[in-house]
A and B are shown apart, each in its own frame.
Chain A
Amino acid sequence: MRKILRPLALVVAVLSPAAALAEEPQQFTLNNGMQVVVVEDHRAPVVVNMVWYRVGAADDPAGHSGIAHFFEHLMFKATETMDEGDFDAAVQANGGTHNAFTSWDYTAYHQRVAADRLELMMQMEAERMVHLRLDRSDWATERDVILRERGETLESSPDRVFQEQLRAALFQNHPYGRPIIGWRHEIASLTSEMANDFYRLHYAPNNAVLVVAGDVEAEDVLAMAQRHFGPIPPSEGLTPRARPTEPPQMAERRILMQDPRVSQSYMTRTYLAPVRRSGNQREAAAFQMLGILLGSGQTSVFERALTYDQGVTLATWAGYSGLAVDHGTFTIGALPAPGVTLQQAEDALDATLADFIANGVDMAQLERVRMAVRAQEIYGLDDAEGRASDIGAVLSVGLTLQDDAEWLGVLESITPDEIIDAARALDRRQAVTGWLMQGDA
């Protein structure tokens, strides 16, 4: 993310808002292959304009980690018709806010403005989709900024460094093991030529999704999109994403890290897990429900057993992340109470998981979680930007609007047996267990 990098949450168990009670999103495809989705929400005269590109850090060429994120920064530089700083100035002169972010599978640019300013935002996005001029831009300074970004948001935090190491150990072959921001030594060697090559290949209408949510009419948005994005020719060299895939993982991995900046030692374990698959999201939904039951909130299985009943932890967590092209992850972990060792906390966590599998799902807890899923269908209606973000991410990883619309319903329909099956599928040979400890590095 260019301006504000959110702290990496240890737990990812967010329910995506659904559209059951809302106006259905409308989808179009331009002749050049660009997808357009419009979510009408007329409660306030505001609109969110987002352009999602189906390219992310997992598409960085080997040895050039960080190029997708570096490029995200460069998208705010000069174009054929705009100087450096003009994009910011134009958004602000129209009372808007804007930013961008990079994930392993996608890169997105977004603005939030008064609804009658939408066309200008679209015009500028179309301009920088193909008319960026890095030769007229101060790209080397921006590379310094990214090194400072890495130093501030990642290297200054032992938790973030630990996460980075853990992920690098989890993926044995897939580029998901690389940090989104890139390894420091590889960031330092990125050039404007590399960025330009990356741009020419990946930034094109047939690799992009436009999502507009707010006080707009779908047909007006489509007309604007055709005016500004329609004339841009599709990229010819674009091929379906085929990243190196994981071999069968045969050996449990453990990492130990010591850092003097750690106040409390903790352990966390991340397993490989399936992704949400278009047309068949049940398996992923079972993992999502498993993550919520085990680790979301005070009455979750881990919290109740370990923090409340046994008092051996100060906190526990669990969560599933499955909105990805190639591999999902499932994470559990524990922060021991004073006087409890990491080994004891890990053993207690594993014993609790084994008990959960043996004893089955507490139906009262499952009902509470299903109620939360149903409520999300209502609460989600109040957040047009959140809906736009979900739709953008879903479409960027190869799912469909229908998958998005069905997701909460699938979650609600998941049976206790499916949840237990998901828990049984967690395999320590396909996982990394990490201990982060206080001590000299």
Chain B
Amino acid sequence: MRLFTPLAALAMFALPAQAIEITDVTSPMGNSAWLVEDHSIPFVSIEVVFTGGASLETDSNRGAVSLMTSLLVEGAGPYDAQGFAAAVEALAGEVSFDAGRDRITMTITALTENRDQVLDLALMALTEPRFDADAFARVQAQTIANRERAALNPNSIAGETFAALGYGGHPYATSSDGTATSVAALTREDILDAHRAAFTSDLVYFGASGDITPAEFGAFIDRVLGDLPISNTPLPEYRSFAADPGVTVVPHPGPQSVVQFGHSGIHWDDDDFMAAYLINEIFGSGRFGTRLMTELRERRGLTYGIGTSLASGRFGDSFVGRFSTANETVGEAIDLVREQFEWLANGGITQEDLERAQTYLTGAYALRFDGNAAIAGILASMQFQGFDIDYISYRNDLVRAVTLDDIQRVATRLARPDELVFVVVGEPEGIEAE
């Protein structure tokens, strides 16, 4: 529903991810796209990424891009909402759109037997949406309900409070879906404006995997780009997360508190990003054996799970983590997290830790290329992030090239215990907001 992721054989090895062969498709009109051509199963997955997403908004129309995106499949061309849905269902295809803070993603799945018809419907949704008044009112009401729901969800509260503390004045400060109030204020005119601003012919990236030829895919991308304008909405400035360190408590009823923590991070373009990525893997990727899981869960039973991530976006970055613990152990857990950041900043990671992470990451890389939909998504995202088309073939070499010296240098830069910001959502005992 709409409203509601022995120790035998320590030798280095890696699956041949390079067995994934990417074709750089150039369309008749000179547009570019990446394709993994595989005719073994008669269907194709296509993913298209449009840069900007909700970052194109101002405070006054927050949520417009997200609502507009939801409305694309609620009536287009000759079809009203029911007619469009029935047309897609009759072909057993998928046409969907998702708005994020940096991008809008269009996802298409189509059987070979009726692929052209599904692609026609996808194009219709993209370029001829109707935004009918009844559809607008219905989806607006659903979105408001969804936002009201999020406003009472402790994970959402923690995330949104944290973002507001560290990204004031930047689009990353608020949810890309807007608030119940901001969505209620949106008009059909806002939706039309958002549609014009969000779908432009520059900064668009195409990935496909499955049963389609380069010529067929090239023809499709020309049709997508043919009718779209060049973007003229300015993209936001890049900003790192920055907030006063300390603890913020948001009262919320329940037996446990959700704690979000972190500070500034590192962008994916940074030369130190791979080292930082390995550090995060060792420290807080959430797998068993990672530092935070071992200290808080395995040793002390304080939480079911704790993880961190390098939340590197197109327009900002943070190094952020989250866990949930009983209200009476919040203080103990926060102290432990601080201690672990000290450990990290002061050279805690060992050569053995590094080698274990390198072995895991290089081995697990190929597991990502799991089916047409996953591959199409990776291809589009790699272009969005500015990777080379042959990155997959040397990515594991980059992982292996990181040394312990690199790790310690970047750990000092990445982990800043004195800058830690904690947001506690719950009824923590003995915690005073600083």
Contacts and interface: CB of A to CB of B under 8 A. Distances in A.
Contacts of A123: 6
Interface stretch (B52-60, B164-172, B362-370, B381-389): B362-370
| Size class of the contact patch on chain B | 35 or more
Interface stretch (B189-197, B235-243, B285-293, B401-409): B285-293
Contacts of B297: 145
B324 interface: yes
B288 A88 contact: yes
Contacts of A260: 253
A381 B41 contact: yes
Given A86-B6, A123-B6, A299 B288 contact: no
B13 A114 contact: yes
Contact of A148 (B10, B252, B254, B304): B304
B289 A120 contact: no
Interface in A311-355: 311, 314-317, 335, 337-338
Interface string A255-297: 0000011111000000000000000000000000000000001
Interface in B285-322: 286-289, 297-305
Contact of B90 (A85, A335, A367): A367
B13 A95 contact: yes
A90 B6 contact: yes
Contacts of A7: 4
A375 B92 CA distance: 6
B256 interface: yes
Contact of B82 (A89, A304, A314, A338): A304
Interface stretch (B121-129, B147-155, B271-279, B410-418): B147-155
Contacts of B86: 299, 364, 368
B283 to A, nearest CB: 15
A114 B138 contact: no
A371 interface: yes
Interface string A196-222: 000000000000000000000000000
A82 B13 contact: no
Contact of B363 (A43, A95, A138, A364): A95
Given A141-B298, A298-B85, A337 B141 contact: yes
A3 B305 CA distance: 7
A95 B326 CA distance: 33
Contacts of A29: none
Contact of A114 (B5, B85, B91, B366): B366
B298 A151 contact: no
A148 B360 contact: no
Contacts of A372: 89, 92
B133 interface: no
B293 to A, nearest CB: 9
Contacts of B89: 297, 299, 368-369, 371-372
A383 interface: yes
Nearest to B363: A95
A308 interface: yes
Contacts of A140: 301
B286 A3 contact: yes
Contact of A261 (B3, B40, B253): B253
Given A44-B369, A378-B41, A381-B41, A299 B256 contact: no
A149 B41 CA distance: 40
Interface in B1-53: 1-10, 13-16, 19, 38, 40-43
B349 interface: no
Interface string A59-92: 0000000000000000010000110111011101
Contacts of B301: 140-145, 148
B6 A10 contact: no
Contact of B3 (A76, A153, A314, A367): A314
B6 to A, nearest CB: 5
B6 A82 contact: yes
B223 interface: no
Given A4-B5, A141-B300, A299-B85, A92 B360 contact: yes
A315 B254 contact: no
A117 B9 contact: yes
A417 interface: no
A164 interface: no
A43 to B, nearest CB: 6
Nearest to A295: B1
A409 interface: no
11 contacts: A43-B38, A88-B287, A124-B6, A142-B301, A151-B254, A297-B85, A299-B85, A364-B86, A378-B43, A378-B111, A382-B43
Interface of A: 3-4, 7, 10-11, 43-46, 76, 81-82, 84-86, 88-90, 92-97, 112-114, 117, 120, 123-124, 138, 140-149, 151-153, 155-156, 260-264, 297-299, 304, 307-308, 311, 314-317, 335, 337-338, 364, 367-369, 371-372, 374-375, 378-379, 381-383, 385
Given A92-B356, A143-B301, A261-B152, 5 more contacts: A43-B38, A114-B13, A145-B304, A151-B254, A337-B141
10 smallest CB-CB distances across A and B, nearest first, come from A95-B363, A144-B301, A375-B92, A298-B85, A88-B288, A149-B304, A152-B324, A151-B256, A263-B148, A141-B301
